[in-house]
């Protein structure tokens, strides 16, 4: 069975940093691209970032480009999102999601999400 478990969220002041982690199990992690998708309170889904299976290709939404960095450690079956210069509009539930292949298409498994609140 596939599991994705996010951690690292919490309350942070504007301008500060936070690092999210997503530990996975139940599939061959280094065969698949991984994604971060967020959902602001009461709002819809917003794609944030994608990293290919071998980390050779990484993409970001314009709203986070230059501030967020996605990485992965295939030896640890883990995905990471380093979030710098956080803004109130980054407040959201952050999901990690598994792709169906080696590069970004659609998402067949999702974690339960990790809440990030940016507020002074």
Partner 1 sequence: EIVMTQSPATLSVSPGERVTLSCRASQSISLNLAWYQQKPAQAPRLLIYGASTRATGIPARFSGSGSGTAFTLTISRLQSEDFAVYYCQHYNSWPVTFGQGTKVEIK
Which residues in this chain contact partner 1 in the complex, by CB under 8 A? 44-47, 50, 59, 61-62, 95, 100, 104-113
Find where tokens 């690092």 sit.
Answer: 19
Distance, in Å, from the CA atom of 48 to the CA atom of 81, rounded to the nearest integer, reads: 10
The tokens describing 50, both together, are 């994608």
Closest CB to partner 1 among residues 27, 109: 109
Closest CB to partner 1 among residues 45, 102: 45
Closest CB to partner 1 among residues 82, 101: 101
DSSP conformation class of 54: T
In the complex, minimum distance from the CB of residue 76 to partner 1, in angstroms, rounded to a whole number: 22
Q: Provide the terminal-to-terminal Cα distance of the chain, rounded to the nearest Å.
A: 40
């Amino acid at each position: 069975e596939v599991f994705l478990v996010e951690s690292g969220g919490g309350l942070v002041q504007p301008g500060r940093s936070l690092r999210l982690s997503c530990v996975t199990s139940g599939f061959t992690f280094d065969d698949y691209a991984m994604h971060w998708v967020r959902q602001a309170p009461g709002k819809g889904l917003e794609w944030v970032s994608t990293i290919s299976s071998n980390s050779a290709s990484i993409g970001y939404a314009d709203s986070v480009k230059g501030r967020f960095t996605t990485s992965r450690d295939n030896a640890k079956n883990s995905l990471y999102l380093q979030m710098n210069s956080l803004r109130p509009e980054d407040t959201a539930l952050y999901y990690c999601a598994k792709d169906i292949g080696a590069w970004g298409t659609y998402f067949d498994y999702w974690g339960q999400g990790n809440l990030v609140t940016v507020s002074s």
